[in-house]
Structure 1
Amino acid sequence: MLRVLMISAFVLGLSAMTCSGEDSSRSDLRRPTALAFSGDQKRLYVANRNGSIATIEWANRRLVRELQLGRRFSDIVTLRNGRVLVADEEAGCLLLLADRIDGLDEIGSVKVAPYPVFLCIGESEGGGEEDSMTIYVSCLWPRRVLEVHYADNVLSIGRTVDLPFSPRNSVCYKGKLIVADGFGNQLAIIDRASFRLDHAREFPGHNLRGMLVTPKTNRLVVAHQMLNELAHSVRNDVHWGLLMSNDLRWLEADAIIRTDSDLYKHGHMHPLGDAGDATADPSGLALTNTGRVVVTLGGVGEVAIGVEEDFSLRRVKVGRRPTDVIVAPDDRHVIVANTFDDSVSVVDTQELIETDRISLGKMRELTMREQGEVLFYDASLSHDRWMSCHSCHPDGHTNGLRNDNLSDKSYGAPKRVLSLLGNRNTAPFAWSGKTLSLDDQIRNSIKLTMQSDLDPTDVQVEALRIHLWSFVPPPPIDEMRENRVPDLVERGKAIFTSRGCVACHVTPRFTSPESYDVGMVDEKGNREFNPPSLRGVSQRRPFFHDNRASTLEDVFLKHRHQLDEALDDEERVALLAFLRSL
C-alpha cells in the first residue's frame, strides 16, 4: 500500500533558518556534498552534509542565503517542473522544495527507508506544469532501492527491491535501472516495469562513485578504483599503479543489462594518473553536451577533463576533497563541490583552469577527529598519491576485496580488507592479530601498505585514531528492513552460545584478543587468525580471510564453519537471524 505524505510546513521539527549573504559569515562546517541548478538555471543550490542548502546567484557567482532544513543531506536533484528534491540521510526522508525567485520554500516531505544516499529521476509520465514522475532512491544500509512517485506536489512511496549489496549511484537505461555497489565491485540491473532484480554482476573495480550513460553512443561510463590482489604493497607495485589504480571505464550499456554479454567487448579505459603523478578516489562524474567528461578526484583535490578519444585526461587543481560535479548552463564550465573546503569551484573545461572559487561561509577550527577525517581521505599519505585510507575502506567500511600486504608478515597470501566500522576496543588488529595497538596499525598501513614517502607524525596518527574510534558498527540488516523476529533472534543467540561460538567471538564486542586455528590455511601456511568482530556482520560480504564464503549462509551451509555437527534448517535460520541482529 502506498504511503502518502501530504504537503507539510516542517520536517522532523526542524524549522528553516535563513541566512543572508552577510549572515553566512558565521563559522561552521557545511561539508558540501551535492549540487543542482534551479529550474530557470539562474541559481545554484548546494546541499550540505550539515543539513543546510546554500543558494548562489549564478550570474554574479554570489552566495545569497543558506537554509537550515534538515540533519544530513546526501543528494539534491531538480525535477523537470522546477521543484527541488533533497535526500536527508540521517533523517531517512526526502524533502520537496519549491524553487522561488527569492529562494527555496519547503512544501512537502516523505519518509523513506533509512540512509537514502542517491536520487535518480526516471522518465516523465505526464505533461503540463506538474509533471508526474518516478524517482529511484538508493538506501545504503537497508541494501534497498525504492520508488518515490511525484505528482501534483505530493510524494508517495511505491515498490522496493532488496539487493545483495549496499547501493549508491544509479542510472536509467532502456527500461532498466543500473545500480552501483556503494563499497565493492557489484552492479545490479533492475527491471523498472516489474521493479524486480534482473541480475547482479561483478564489475572490475570498486568505489563506483561516478556513473552515467552517454546519450549519443550509449556508453556506460564509470569512475572507479581497482585493487589488484596479485600485486604486493611494495614501493615498485605502488609506484607503477599495479596495486591500486584509479580509472575511467567506458563500456557498452547494452552489454551491462544482458546476462549473456561480454562486459569488456568494445570497452576501454582511461587511467586517471601516471607513475610519479598519480590520482586517487574518483568521486563524481559529469558529461557536457560537447562530449567532455569531467571526473572529480577526491583524494588529490583535482578534476580530470577530456573526451573519450583522448589518450589521457588533463587535470585541474580545485579544493580539498572534490565530490559532486555538474555542468553549468553554458555547457563550457563545470561546478565542483569541495567538501573539505566548504566551497565550490568553477572550472573552464576548454581553458582547463579554475575561474572562480565561491566560499560557502567561514569554517570553524577543526576538532582533532575532524582533522583525522581529512587525513583519512588524503592521498598524500601514500607514495605518488595513488590511494587514501578511503580507497580500501570506503567511508570506513570495506571494499570486500583482497589485498596482499605485510599485516601477516609475509607476501603471497592476500587477505580480505577488514571493515573499520566499530573498530574501537577490538585490539589486536589485522588477520594475524600481531598488531597490538591501533596506533601501530595506522603507522603500518601508511608506511608498509600505502608506502608513504614520509613517516606519519604523532599528531597525524592521533587524529586518525580518534577519527577511527568514531566509527560505529553498521546497523543490522534485519533492523534496516524491519524484518527482525525477536523470538527467532533469541533462539539463535542460544545456539550461538551452545555451539561454542562465544569462545572466539566473546560478547559484548564479539571478538577476542587471541588467534585461533579454525581449520583454514592460507597460501603461506598460516593457520591461526584473529576473529573479526561480528558486530555489523550482516553488512559485509564475502567472508573469511580469503573470501571463500560468498554469503553468511554459506559460512555454515557450505563451509560448516566450526561445526562438529551440522545445523538443521531451523537451527541455521535461527543462528543467521541472531547474526543479522548484531
Structure 2
Amino acid sequence: MVVFALPALSTSRLCASGFCLLMLSAAVGFAANPSALRRPIALELAEDGKTLYVANSRSGSLSVIDLNNARVVQEISLGKKLSDLVRVDGRPWFLATDEEAGELLLLQAAGQNVKIWQRLPVSPYPVSVVISPDQSRCYVTSIWSRRLSVIDLPLENDQEAKITHVIDLPIAPRCQLLVRDGSKLIIADAFGGRLAVLDTQSLELIGIREFPGHNVRGLGVNNDGTMLLIAHQMLNELAHTVRNDVHWGLLMSNDLRWLKLDAVLDPKADLYGGAHMHPLGEAGSATGDPAGLTVAQDGTVVVALGGVGEVAVGQEEDFSLYRIRVGRRPTDVTINDAGTTAYVVNTFGESVSIVDLAEREAKGKIPLGDLPDPATLSEVDRGELLFYDARLSHDGWMSCHSCHTDGHTNGMLNDNFSDASFGAPKRVLSLLGRTGTEPFAWNAEAKDLVTQIRKSITNTLQSDNEPDEDQVAALAAYVRTLPGPPSIDRLRGVADPVAIDRGAEQFRSLGCVRCHRPPTFTTPRTYDVGLVDKLGNNRFNPPTLRGVGQRGPYFHDNRAASLEEVFRKHRHQLKRDLQDTELFDLLAYLRSL
C-alpha cells in the first residue's frame, strides 16, 4: 500500500496542480427529457425526512422527490455518470461521486433547490463515498485506479474540500463502511471476496481478510455494532453447471453473511468464529445478485435483490428473511429515521419503491420519468437488461453479472461444460474489451459471441426456456459495447513510456506474439504451453491480454497470484531467466495494455 500526502493548497494553486475547483452560486440546469433513461443508482434522505434525492447514473442527473406528494419536483443535470450519494449531517450538504468525470461533487441542497458548491477531481473512476462520524472527512474509493482518496470537508460554508491523502490499494474497491466510531474503514473488493481494513488515524492498512464470496454490493453493521453484514454471492468450484446443482443452490448461492466485527478487524483472529449466514432464496425461488443493504435502529435489515426485483427484510434471529416485490433491478436502500419506511431505488425500473417495514409490504412506487416501452429500447439497452436479470437462469439463482461482474470477472473458478468436460474448473474470463477476440472459451469451442452466449444460457444458467434468438442477439450487442479496463499505471500517473517501449520489444523478442498477437493480443488457435488441467487437457486458447493488469490471479486455474509470478515462479514460456530490468519493462508493457 502506498500513501500520498497532499499539502493544503489554495484554490489557485489547486488549479495549477490539476485539482481545479469549481464553485457555482446559481442552480444547475434541468434534465429536459422525461422519457430518457436515467438508471438511478443511489438515494439519500434529507435530514428532515421530507425530501428524497436520487443520483442517476446514465443521465448524470439528480432527481428531487417531495415525499409528502410522492412525486419528482425537480431533476437537475450534475455530471456525466453519478455513482454514489451521501448526506452530510448537520449541514445542508450532500456528496456525490461522478465515475466518468472522476469528480467528487459537494452539493448544497434545501428542498428542491440544489447547487453545486464544488467539483473536486479525485482518483479516476470513483464509485463510492462515506463520511466520518464527525462529518469532517470523507473517503472516496476509485475502482479502476484502485485508490482511496482521503478528503477534508469544509467546516464553514465559505470553505472548500481538500484532498489530503491518496492511498494505493491491493484490491479494486467499491463498497466501504466506517466502523468503531470511524476509527476503522472496511473496503470491499468490487469483484472477489476480499476486505481491506484501514486504520483511519494512521492511514495504514491493517490487513486483508478473505472469505468465500464475490460480488460484494452491500456492507452494514448490526444495531449494537458487534456484527458486520455482507451481501454477496458465492460460486462453488466443486459444483457443476447441471440442473441439480443449480436448483439446490450448490453452484451459486446468494447470501447475507454475518461476521463478528472484532474478528474482521483482527487479522490474526478466526474470521468465522461466531459467524452465521442467511441464505437469500431457496430451491424453486432463488434471489440472484444481492445488492445494497441498510440496517434500521431496531436491527431490521433490508437487502436489495437486484437480479429478481425484490428486497429481503428481517432481523438477525429470523430463520429466513421475508421477501417483497419492488421494481426492476433494485440496487440501493435507505430507511427513514423512525425505522418505519424503506425507500428502494430500482435502477432498471426507473423508479423508487416505498416499503412499509411494519406491514412488510410495498406501498407504492414513485416514477422518475416516463418508463420507456421495452420494445422501443435499443438492442444494446435490451441486452443490458438481460445481462443483469437472474430470471434468465433456472429458479433465478444467477445472472450473467453474477460471474462476469459488470462485464468483468469475479476471479473465481467455475466448472461448466464450455470445455466439454466436468472435473476441471477454470477461471471465469472477463468480457471487457472482447470485441474481435473470437473464438471464446478456454478450448476455443465457441466460434463467436452469439454461440458462447447461447451455450451460457443453456448450460451454465440452466435456463428453464430455450434461448430466444432476440435475447441472444441483444446480449451480444451489449457485450460488444463493453470497453476494456483502463491501464492501472496510466490511471495512477506512473506509466513509464520508455520502459513500456522496451517492454514491447521484450514481448516480441521473447515470442509472446506467437499466441498473443497485437492488436487483439490473442489468436484463434489452441496451444500446448506447458499447462495441464485436472483432467489432463493441455491445449488452451490464449485469453486476450487487453486489460491484463486489471485481472488476476492468472492462468486457467488461478495458480499465479500476480503477473510477476507468471514469469518468476512459473517461468511461462521462457527459454531463459529474465533480468530484473527486463521483467520490470515487460510488466510495464503488459500493464499498459
Partner of 2:77: 68
Match of residue 114, structure 1, among 117, 124, 138: 124
Partner of 1:237: 245
Contact 1:2 1:156 in 2 (8 A): no
Partner of 2:16: none
Q: What letter is aligned with 1:385? A: G
Contact 2:64 2:112 in 1 (8 A): no
Q: Does 1:538 align with 2:549?
A: yes
Q: What letter is aligned with 1:105? A: K
Match of residue 205, structure 1, among 213, 224, 228: 213
Partner of 1:58: 67
- What's the offset of the Cα at 1:353? 1.0
Partner of 1:8: 22
The C-alpha deviation readout for 1:318-359, integer Å capped at 9, x for no partner, is: 000000000023311100000001100001112111101000
Q: Secondary structure at the match of 2:84?
A: strand
Q: Does 1:92 align with 2:102?
A: yes
**Deviates further, 92-101 or 558-567:** 92-101
Contact 2:72 2:368 in 1 (8 A): yes
- What's the offset of the Cα at 1:107? 1.2
The C-alpha deviation readout for 1:491-515, integer Å capped at 9, x for no partner, is: 1110000000000000001000011
Q: Secondary structure at the match of 1:154?
A: coil
Contact 1:149 1:155 in 2 (8 A): yes
Mapped partners of 1:302, 1:205: distance in 2: 21
**Tell me, which stretches of 5 or more residues in structure 1 are unaligned?**
125-131
Q: Does 1:312 align with 2:316?
A: no
Q: Does 1:18 align with 2:30?
A: yes
**Tell me, which stretches of 5 or more residues in structure 2 are unaligned?**
1-5, 12-20
Mapped partners of 2:566, 2:24: distance in 1: 47
Q: Does 1:468 align with 2:471?
A: no
- What's the offset of the Cα at 1:218? 1.6
Partner of 1:435: 446
Mapped partners of 1:66, 1:2: distance in 2: 37
Match of residue 404, structure 2, among 393, 413, 419: 393
Match of residue 367, structure 1, among 378, 381, 393: 378
Number of residue-to-residue matches in the alignment: 569
The C-alpha deviation readout for 1:6-39, integer Å capped at 9, x for no partner, is: 563459xx982236xxx77x21001110001123
Partner of 2:512: 501
Mapped partners of 2:578, 2:71: distance in 1: 65
Contact 2:223 2:296 in 1 (8 A): no
The C-alpha deviation readout for 1:136-175, integer Å capped at 9, x for no partner, is: 1010000111101101341111112212221001111232
Mapped partners of 2:534, 2:114: distance in 1: 59
Q: Secondary structure at the match of 1:203?
A: strand
Contact 1:40 1:82 in 2 (8 A): no
Contact 1:15 1:69 in 2 (8 A): no
Partner of 1:148: 151
Q: Secondary structure at the match of 1:119?
A: strand
Partner of 2:185: 177
User: So what's the TM-score if we normalise by structure 2?
Assistant: 0.94
C-alpha spacing 1:494/1:118, structure 2 compared with 1 (3 Å): same
Contact 1:4 1:157 in 2 (8 A): no
Alignment of 1:269-280 (within 5 A): 269-280=277-288
Mapped partners of 2:241, 2:528: distance in 1: 26
C-alpha spacing 1:475/1:123, structure 2 compared with 1 (3 Å): same
- What's the offset of the Cα at 1:5? 7.4
- What's the offset of the Cα at 1:108? 1.2
Contact 2:73 2:112 in 1 (8 A): no
Q: What letter is aligned with 2:256? A: L
Following TM superposition, the consecutive aligned residue runs of length 4 or more in structure 1 with deviations greater than 6 angstroms are: none
- What's the offset of the Cα at 1:467? 0.1
**Percent of aligned pairs sharing the same letter:** 51
Mapped partners of 2:49, 2:225: distance in 1: 27
Q: Does 1:491 align with 2:502?
A: yes
Contact 1:55 1:63 in 2 (8 A): yes
Mapped partners of 1:3, 1:37: distance in 2: 32
**Deviates further, 32-41 or 274-283:** 32-41
Mapped partners of 2:365, 2:322: distance in 1: 19
Contact 2:71 2:367 in 1 (8 A): no
Mapped partners of 1:85, 1:246: distance in 2: 31
Contact 1:109 1:155 in 2 (8 A): no
The C-alpha deviation readout for 1:91-121, integer Å capped at 9, x for no partner, is: 0001111122442111112110111000111
C-alpha spacing 1:566/1:134, structure 2 compared with 1 (3 Å): same
- What's the offset of the Cα at 1:289? 0.9
Q: What letter is aligned with 2:150? A: E
- What's the offset of the Cα at 1:123? 2.8
Q: Secondary structure at the match of 1:212?
A: strand
Mapped partners of 1:220, 1:483: distance in 2: 36
Q: Does 1:77 align with 2:86?
A: yes
Match of residue 510, structure 1, among 502, 506, 521: 521
Partner of 2:3: none
Contact 1:208 1:225 in 2 (8 A): yes
Mapped partners of 1:516, 1:164: distance in 2: 32
Partner of 1:341: 349
- What's the offset of the Cα at 1:176? 1.5
Contact 2:28 2:114 in 1 (8 A): no
- What's the offset of the Cα at 1:217? 4.0
C-alpha spacing 1:136/1:93, structure 2 compared with 1 (3 Å): same
Partner of 1:32: 40
Partner of 1:129: none
Mapped partners of 1:235, 1:319: distance in 2: 28
Q: Secondary structure at the match of 1:493?
A: helix
- What's the offset of the Cα at 1:75? 0.3
- What's the offset of the Cα at 1:273? 0.3
Mapped partners of 1:46, 1:456: distance in 2: 35
Alignment of 1:543-582 (within 5 A): 543-582=554-593
Contact 2:27 2:113 in 1 (8 A): no
Mapped partners of 1:421, 1:541: distance in 2: 14
- What's the offset of the Cα at 1:69? 1.1
Contact 2:27 2:115 in 1 (8 A): no
User: So what's the TM-score if we normalise by structure 1?
Assistant: 0.96
**Deviates further, 105-114 or 384-393:** 105-114
Partner of 2:174: 168
